Amino acid sequence: MNALPPQQPATRTACPYCGVGCGVLAVADLNGGAMIAGDPDHPANFGRLCSKGSALGDTLSLDRRLLHPMIRRAPGVLGRVDWDTALDAVASGLRTVVDRDGPEAVAFYLSGQLLTEDYYVANKLMKGFLGSSNVDTNSRLCMASSVAGHRRAFGADIVPGTYRDIDEADLIVLVGSNAAWCHPVLYQRMIAAKRNRGAKLIVIDPRRTATAKDADLFLPIAPGMDAALFCGLLVHLADTLALDYAYIDRHTAGFVEALARAREIAANPAATARATGLEQADVAHFFELFRKTERVVTCFSQGVNQSAQGTDKVNAIINAHLATRRIGRPGMGPFSLTGQPNAMGGREVGGLSNQLAAHMGFSPEERDRVGRFWRAPCLAAKEGLKAIDLFEAIERGSIKALWVMATNPVVSLPRAGAVRHALGKLDLFIVSENVLDNDTIAAGAEARTQVLLPGAAWGEKHGTVTNSERRISRQRAFLPLPGEARPDWWIVTEVARRLGFGSAFAFGGPADIFREHAALSAFENNGERDFDIGALAGISDAAYGALDPVMWPARAGEPSREQRFFAAGEFFTPDRRARFVAPERPRPRSATSKYFPLRLNTGRVRDQWHTMTRTGMSPRLGTHSPEPFVEINPADGEAALLADGGFARITTSHGSAILKVRFDAGQRLGSIFAPIHWSEATAAYARVGEMVTAANDPFSGQPELKATPARAEPVEFAYVGIALSRGAITLPAGTWFARQAITGGNAVLFATNEPFGLWHEHARTLLPADAELAEYIDQSRGLIRIAAFRAGRFDGCIFVGPAQSQPQWGVVRSLFEAGILAEQERRTLLSGRSADGMADTGPVICACFGVGLAAIQEVVAAGRNVTVDDIGRTLRAGTNCGSCLPELRGIIERSASPVVP
Ligand SMILES: Nc1nc2c(c(=O)[nH]1)N[C@H]1C(S)=C(S)[C@@H](COP(=O)(O)OP(=O)(O)OC[C@H]3O[C@@H](n4cnc5c(=O)[nH]c(N)nc54)[C@H](O)[C@@H]3O)O[C@H]1N2
Ligand SMILES: Nc1nc2c(c(=O)[nH]1)N[C@H]1C(S)=C(S)[C@@H](COP(=O)(O)OP(=O)(O)OC[C@H]3O[C@@H](n4cnc5c(=O)[nH]c(N)nc54)[C@H](O)[C@@H]3O)O[C@H]1N2
Ligand code: SF4
Ligand SMILES: [Mo]
């Protein structure tokens, strides 16, 4: 737990998960894993890590790694090839498509999880040398509305503030951000601001999240209506003479139009309350807090970006900050929280199809400048296709070759079923991956040629990432390259060489690429472009190796310092003035109907990362939310005849999924929420992306991932069960299941309508043939418990019970991990009853110390006015990374006042 062995030299690197960008110290251990601690000297986290960062050591196993290149030519199966064969196949395949169908028939789909150096060379190859701009990235699903909003308002994609502003704020407004779970270490800084200086926290979200539990004011806004709320705020500030007219006059344009539009949308608190579905008193309270507090930071994330009116939401927020000059000054500003570790770096290199490179676009001067710098033979003439359009072009057959790097689009894109189908139409489908199997790799089985390229993973490669506050940090390797895996930048440059572009891609390592990227940022810049790291253009290999976290801009000849933007204007528009933007009247793109009366909201849980290819390997992270689920207000749930703890089929016009039902009074009536993490690789019938609409924002192209019309129906299963094995587990087709991470084997939770007898038979085929079986069968109660032992070791089991039963998953898991069982433990296992000290822990709340709900509830029940500190003293829960503190507070709160649905 955040402790490294003394005297071992640790490698300073950065966390590969969220955009907080925490510094990590890592020491490789002898088993291919590593000991991990927070870097006390890193300015993003000062030594802290959240539950996911703390568990990084659990995710380094090579069990499911792609360790050598593979090719499949139809009809056929994937077979191992050497690097030369794979790289030749990629280069000649791309060349054939470009020669035959033109450069527009080729596309790259990249990721905010690539390092800046990887991203830079991929973008350069496509836009400068293949001659198309069909390079887009999963950042289209993530940050595109913030990028578009920044560019409309500021003339450049800039986050004006720094994390220090969060420390120094007196009011922190979180819009569409579940920071307690998604940016946990930064969230700890918000809580510290609350504690240290009495800062107030406002949370605006349709559902009462873990973050909302800490809020001084929670605004359960109707989905998609944020722009109306911030229009109402602007009107209120104008009507109460709280605006800074000197700043507006001197440094901005478009104010009059924006205010007039705001009046049309939300003329006063009453109209705002009607438009947003909020209580008028709450709206008024929010307006007053904003007006009275000078130091306001408004942080926003996917509840803002992932909307068909996401760019307008961003600008409505920025409008309120510009009009009050709450920008660029200590403790103030609009603050877009980036999602991925290098979403920001991807924007810097131009990874989005509507950007060229180094924050430049496609104007004639910018094209000319980048073309000369790169000595590009055929620079892309215009913007390329954005992700949704790009995959539609694949569906139509106009894109024939696709290279996916470091993203899993068959899970994460909207209309994921259609995306999977589209990939089968490709002539050439190249995937650079860490893992051997994910849904995207599987979808390539129908493509004419599929090439898998083994990318080096976190801990094995060198490069840089940029976090939410524009701070560039080094990722450094502390593990050897396994098998034949190679860094992504190397793979791209080798392909470029084979295409005949060797001299433009003669990079010996990431430092060479970084220097070129830095030089381009400063090339003919003269202070006109925001993104300038010219000070690093001449960095030596040694200095790159030792580079400390550095914030941009870092202009050549200027002292390096943390810089805020725009306190004195100086925007990056032609007239150097910011733009107020008049938003459209907001509404979600698709309307609910009699058939689809609910709105499906999607997002994240605390301890899983995206499609679970990494966090899914950690047993301790898996215990917090073991199954794919849907949260629904109890009133909606009962109306749909659902049972809490049962199952529901959620259906939209695009697809359906079967999810475990959680009644939650914190859900707005009419809204349901499902996490995005499960896929075919980890569960059955739980790929939520299949249900999600591809309707998207007209400015950013970012899809509305949080508001798809949907309906819910009950699904009955006769039996539920668990299966564990030291080997692979194959369940009968049609079984609903969710895989569980477990040390030393495989495990699934499942549900089924197969007859009792079949399970009895199936258990025998599932368990090792040479094992000694211990059985407990009670047909009248519908119970099957069969455990397999080999040489005294508990080697697997299959337990089935009626739908209402609760398999003792926690107990069984700990016995399996223990291996050799005492007689008493064997009896415990088969009786299904908890013996002393073996009580099932319930869902694990504190992932660091493995403390379950049951133990916490016991402590809360045993005392009077129990606090989180009391829980920490008794159980240690919450005393390491702090990610579970909001949940601990929630448990205390619930025990004090039982929630009445
Ligand atoms: N644990 C964990 N952390 C992560 C990630 C992860 O996978 N797991 N991923 C990282 C990435 S890439 C990203 S982009 C970030 C995302 O971080 P967040 O944006 O904080 O996470 P989400 O859960 O996607 O959505 C945030 C909230 O938006 C709310 N919301 C939905 N619709 C609306 C609306 O119309 N208005 C408002 N105001 N709110 C709405 C949802 O209810 C949800 O609580 O997290 C990063 N951190
Ligand atoms: N419905 C809905 N859909 C969403 C969202 C939502 O809130 N709702 N959120 C969206 C957002 S914000 C995001 S960011 C996306 C995320 O979605 P994805 O990017 O699809 O999710 P990941 O699981 O992070 O996929 C990363 C893949 O790259 C591999 N990988 C990791 N590191 C490397 C590397 O260094 N090199 C290579 N070659 N491969 C690597 C991993 O094994 C994994 O397969 O999902 C989006 N989709
Ligand atoms: S907050 Fe957690 S996931 Fe995000 S960078 Fe820090 S340790 Fe990693
Ligand atoms: Mo994201």
Rg value, the chain, Cα: 27
**Tell me: the pLDDT tens digits for 354-371?**
999 999 999 999 999 999
Q: Report d(CA 727, CA 111) in Å as an integer.
A: 33
Cβ–Cβ under 8 Å, residues 771 and 795: yes
Whole-angstrom distance, CA of residue 898 vs CA of residue 901: 9
* Paired tokens of 519: 């030089």
Distance in angstroms (rounded) separating the CA atoms of residues 759 and 256: 70
Whether 900 shows a pLDDT value over 50: the answer reads no
What pLDDT, on a 0 to 100 scale, did the predictor assign at position 460? 98
CA atoms 739, 742, 745, 747: torsion sign: negative
Residue 840: pLDDT band (50, 70, 90) is low
Give distance in angstroms: CA of 18 to centre of ligand 4.
Answer: 8
H or E segment to which residue 101 belongs: helix 83-101
Identify which ligand lies nearest to the alpha carbon of 15: 3
Greater pLDDT, 776 or 209: 209
Over residues 265-282, the pLDDT tens digits come to 999 999 999 999 999 999
Q: Give the CA-trace dihedral at 320, 324, 325, 330, to 10 degrees.
A: -90
Pairing mode of beta strands 333-336, 296-300? parallel
Closest Cα to atom 47 of ligand 1: 182
Residue 833 is predicted with a pLDDT of 60
Cα–Cα distances (Å) from 514 to 228, 361, 626, 817, in that order, read: 43, 20, 41, 45
CA–CA separation, 484 and 81 (whole Å): 11
Arithmetic mean of pLDDT, 289-315: 98
Task: Please tell me the residue having the least CA distance from ligand 1 atom 24.
Answer: 603
Please report the atom of ligand 2 found closest to the CA of residue 438. 44
Strand order in the sheet with 772-778: 736-740, 746-752, 719-725, 793-802, 783-790, 772-778
Kindly tell me if the per-residue pLDDT of 843 is higher than 80: no
Token digits of residue 562: 């943390």
The span from the CA of 49 to the CA of 828, in Å, is 37
Q: What is the pLDDT of residue 894?
A: 80
Least confident of 139-143, 414-418, 775-779: 775-779
Task: Look at residue 901 and tell me whether its pLDDT is greater than 60.
Answer: no
DSSP, residue by residue, 758-807:
HHHHHHHHHS-TTSEEEEEEETTTTEEEEEEEETTEEEEEEEEEETT---
Model confidence band, residue 431 (pLDDT cutoffs 50, 70, 90) = very high
Residue 766: what residue type? Answer: L
Ligand 1 atom nearest residue 605's Cα: 1
Average pLDDT, the chain: 94
pLDDT of residue 417: 97
Residue linked to tokens 């191992």: 80
Using an 8 Å Cβ cutoff, are 753 and 697 in contact?
no
Q: What is the full DSSP assignment across 543-590?
A: HHHTPPPEESP--TTS--------TT---SSTTS-EE---PPPP--SS
The pLDDT score that the predictor gives to residue 200 is 98
Q: Pick the closest to residue 471 from 150, 25, 164 (CA basis).
A: 164
Question: Which 8-state DSSP code applies to residue 435?
Answer: B
| Closest CA relative to residue 654, chosen from 694, 625, 699, 690 | 690
The dihedral formed by the CA atoms of 162, 166, 171 and 173, expressed in degrees to the nearest 10: 70
- What's the token pair of residue 417? 């079923």
Structure tokens at 14: 């950065």
Measured CA to CA, the distance from residue 798 to residue 776 in angstroms comes to: 11
What is the whole-number distance in angstroms between the Cα of residue 1 and the centre of ligand 4? 27
The predicted structure's pLDDT at residue 357: 97
Q: Please report the pLDDT score of residue 610 as a whole number.
A: 98
Supply the residue whose CA is at minimum distance from atom 2 of ligand 3. Answer: 50
One-letter identity of residue 852: G
Residue with tokens 């106009």: 398
Q: At which residue do the structure tokens 């000595």 appear?
A: 375
Among all bound ligands, the one having the nearest atom to the CA of 55 is 3
What's the DSSP call for residue 682? Answer: T
Separation CA 748–CA 261 (nearest Å): 54
Confirm if 535 and 560 have CB atoms less than 8 A apart: yes
Residue bearing the CA closest to ligand 1, atom 18: 177
**Ligand 2: residue whose CA is nearest its atom 47:** 412
Rounded percentage of the chain residues whose pLDDT exceeds 90 = 83
Closest-CA residue, ligand 2 atom 19, reads: 407
C-alpha 120/C-alpha 190 separation (Å) is: 33
Per-residue confidence (pLDDT) for residue 105, from 0 to 100: 98
- pLDDT value at 875 more than 80: yes
Give the tens place of pLDDT for each residue, 545-573: 999 999 999 999 998 889 999 999 999 99
- The tokens for 677 are 């993490």
pLDDT score of 838 more than 60: no
Query: Which of the four pLDDT bands, split at 50, 70 and 90, describes residue 852?
Result: confident
Cβ distance 660 to 587 under 8 Å?
no
Handedness of CA 20, 532, 310, 225 (dihedral sign): positive
How far does residue 314's CA lie from ligand 3's centre (Å)? 24
Residues 447, 423: Cα–Cα separation, whole Å: 7
Domains of the chain: 11-59 (2.20.25.90), 70-142+343-460+491-501 (3.40.50.740), 146-336 (3.40.228.10), 598-710 (2.40.40.20), 719-829 (no CATH), 844-896 (1.10.10)
pLDDT over threshold 60, residue 897:
no
The residue type of 123 is: N
Q: How far is the CA of 17 from the centre of ligand 3 (A)?
A: 6
State residue 899's pLDDT score. 41
Ligand with minimal distance to 20 CA: 3
* CA angle (738, 742, 746) in 5-degree steps: 60
Other beta carbons less than 10 A from residue 313's beta carbon = 29
Instruction: Note the pLDDT tens digit of each residue in 821-835.
Output: 888 888 878 876 644
Q: What CA–CA distance (Å, rounded) separates 29 from 456?
A: 19
- pLDDT value, residue 766: 83
Is 65:435 a contact under the CB 8 Å cutoff?
yes
In angstroms, the CA 178 to CA 205 distance is 8
Taking residues 723-742, report their average pLDDT.
92
Percentage of the residues of the chain whose pLDDT score is greater than 70? 98
SS3 state at 427: coil
- What burial class does residue 670 get, using C-beta atoms within 10 Å of its C-beta: 0-12 exposed, 13-18 middle, 19+ buried? middle
> What's the rounded Cα separation, in Å, for the pair 774 and 789?
8
| Nearest C-alpha neighbor of 449 from the set 492, 416, 402 | 402
Asked if the model's pLDDT at residue 837 lies above 70, the reply is no
Helix (H, G, I), strand (E, B) or coil at 106: strand
- The C-alpha atoms of residue 399 and residue 392 are separated, in whole angstroms, by 9
712, β-bridge pairs: 650
> Is the CB of 589 inside a 6 Å radius of any atom of ligand 1?
no
Is residue 2 predicted with pLDDT exceeding 70?
no
Of the CA atoms within 13 Å of residue 819, those in its CB half-sphere come to 5
Question: Does residue 431 contact residue 71 with C-beta atoms inside 8 Å?
Answer: no
Q: Closest Cα to residue 653, out of 693, 603, 705, 695? A: 693
Give CA–CA dist 628/640, Å, rounded. 19
Residue 686 CB coordination number (10 Å): 25
What is the distance of C-alpha 453 from the center of its chain? Answer: 23
* Among protein residues, the one whose CA lies closest to atom 28 of ligand 2: 406
Residue 6 in this model has a pLDDT that exceeds 70: no
**337-351: average pLDDT:** 97
**C-alpha triplet 637, 720, 641: angle, nearest 5°:** 15
- Ligand 3, CB cutoff 6 Å, lining residues: 15, 17-18, 20-22, 45, 49-50, 52-53, 183-185
pLDDT of residue 898: 47
Q: What is the Cα–Cα distance from 325 to 567, expressed in whole angstroms?
A: 7
Report yes or no: 773 and 784 within 8 Å, Cβ to Cβ.
Answer: no
Per DSSP bridges, beta strands 135-137 and 428-433 are: unpaired
Q: Which pLDDT score is estimated for 886?
A: 86
Q: Which of 56, 62, 111, 403 for a ligand 2 pocket mutation test, highest count of atoms within 8 Å of Cβ? A: 111
For residues 393, 396, 398 and 402, what is the CA-based torsion angle, rounded to 10 degrees? 60
What is each CA distance from 392 to 177, 382, 419, 574, 772, in whole angstroms? 29, 19, 8, 35, 54
Which residues have CB under 8 Å from 640's CB, separation 6+? 632, 648, 711, 712, 713, 714
List pocket residues of ligand 2, CB cut-off 6 Å.
111-113, 138, 141-142, 302, 306, 339-340, 405-409, 411-412, 432-435, 438, 455, 457, 488, 602-603, 610-611, 613, 676, 688-689, 692, 705
